[in-house]
Amino acid sequence: MCGSVEGWTTIANRSRYLGIAVLFFAIINVVYALILPFEWSAFLGSILGIVSGSLLLCCGPGEPPLDGCNTFVAATALSVVAGVLHFISAILCLFVIWAVAVFPAPVTVMTDNPFADTVNVVLIPFIILNFITGSLNFAYAVVTIMAATSMRGSSRMKPSATMLPRVPGV
């Protein structure tokens, strides 16, 4: 799982290692997103991050056929969407913190707004986690598209028999 794949370029093998980090942070983020009911964007982004991170780790092509680069492109597309959803989630959490600070709930006890402290304790680590996970997804997208480009232009590529054009009647 973590070793280099024979026949892949160096950047393609490095993209697998970044996929491990994306997968790790996406799993942590999906658990955290299940706690907060309004964080649907973080949950969807985490699911997409898990899929994009596992594409090259579990389902990546063993040999580099010409159509094997599509796995890298799919991982790129999924990680871009996951990164956007994580940044939307972080902005949504910042909005919730602002709304609690500006519009405090009516408090009958002679204390400050205790709900604001709870919101800050729960949401600030989640905002940081979303920014880290979103940034990792964007970095993973850049590396995987570079890997797809390097695999297409690599001299190690072996055309598969199914990719050759067929001549009718032959």
Any idea which of 34-38, 53-57, 72-76 has the lowest mean pLDDT? 34-38
Give me the residue spans of the domains in the chain: 10-104+113-156
Q: What is the mean pLDDT of residues 77-85?
A: 95
Q: What is the mean pLDDT of residues 60-82?
A: 77
Position 1 scores a pLDDT of: 54
What is the overall mean pLDDT for the chain? 79
Q: Are 39 and 33 in contact (CB under 8 A)?
A: yes
Residue with tokens 């602002």: 98
d(CA 84, CA 42): 10
pTM: 0.77
pLDDT at 160 over 60: no
Higher-scoring residue by pLDDT: 153, 31: 31
Position 78 scores a pLDDT of: 94
| 3-class SS of residue 24 | helix
Full 3-state SS string of the chain: CCCCCCCCCHHHHHHHHHHHHHHHHHHHHHHHHHHCCCCHHHHHHHHHHHHHHHHHHCCCCCCCCHHHHHHHHHHHHHHHHHHHHHHHHHHHHHHHHHHHHHCCCCCCCCCCCHHHHHHHHHHHHHHHHHHHHHHHHHHHHHHHHHHHHHHHCCCCCCCCHHHCCCCCCC
Position 170 scores a pLDDT of: 57
